[in-house]
Copies of this chain bind each other. A is one copy, B any other.
Amino acid sequence: MLLYNSQVSGNCYKVRLLFAHLAIEYDRLEMDVVDRSNRREVLGELNPALRVPTLVLDDGRSLGESNAIIFHFAEGTQYLPEDSFERAQVLQWLFYEQYSHEPNIAVARFWALFDVSPPSSADHELKMKAGRAALQAMDAHLTDRPYFVGERYTIADIALYAYTHVAPEGGFELEPYPAIRAWLQRVMGQPGHVPITA
């Protein structure tokens, strides 16, 4: 399989981390996340969102959206519960991650890492506020649970770990969230864990 990848992208890291846990082999093609001028040419037929990660299977079929990719490859493994309601809870957190977490925390990090100007200072402040609210909700949920769903490590943890552990790069302090900090350690201690740089 071929992964259209960005090494700095937390969304791509979710796929790389699950594939490391599952010992799935694949090739990578690195895409620029600042100069996106070749996106339509390279990804136009593969992913309507023109984003990374995009995965091309050995039979040529392609799949986009990080959380769709990890859900697909987690099916039938220990990283996705078999119970129907627990699977729905995993999906709840995957959608939470893409709607309430990533658009704030990942985007603020992107602006900071690549020195990109936000549309307005009001927009930047809104993203910081919404990002802190997303972290607060995670911290509250983790206060009496080791992992997000079903008391074990699943793709819900993989998806939320991706941008949470690098949130300080976007200006988000993790010191106010002790339950998140303890959970980050548990995630890093999983067999087969690899860092975002791997």
Residues in chain A within 8 A of chain B (CB atoms): 48-49, 61, 63-69, 71-72, 75, 84-85, 87-89, 91-92, 94-96, 98-100, 102-103, 119-120, 122-123, 126, 137-138, 140-141
Which DSSP category, helix, strand, loop or mixed, fits chain A's interface?
helix
Complex copy number for this chain:
2
Contact A64 B96 (CB under 8 A): yes
A68 touching B88, Cβ below 8 Å: yes
Inter-chain contact B100/A72, CB cutoff 8 Å: no
Assess whether A92 is in contact with B65, with CB atoms less than 8 Å apart: yes
Q: Known contacts being A63-B92, A120-B119, A120-B123, is A137 close to B71, with CB within 8 Å?
A: no
Give the complex CA separation of A89 and B48 in angstroms: 12
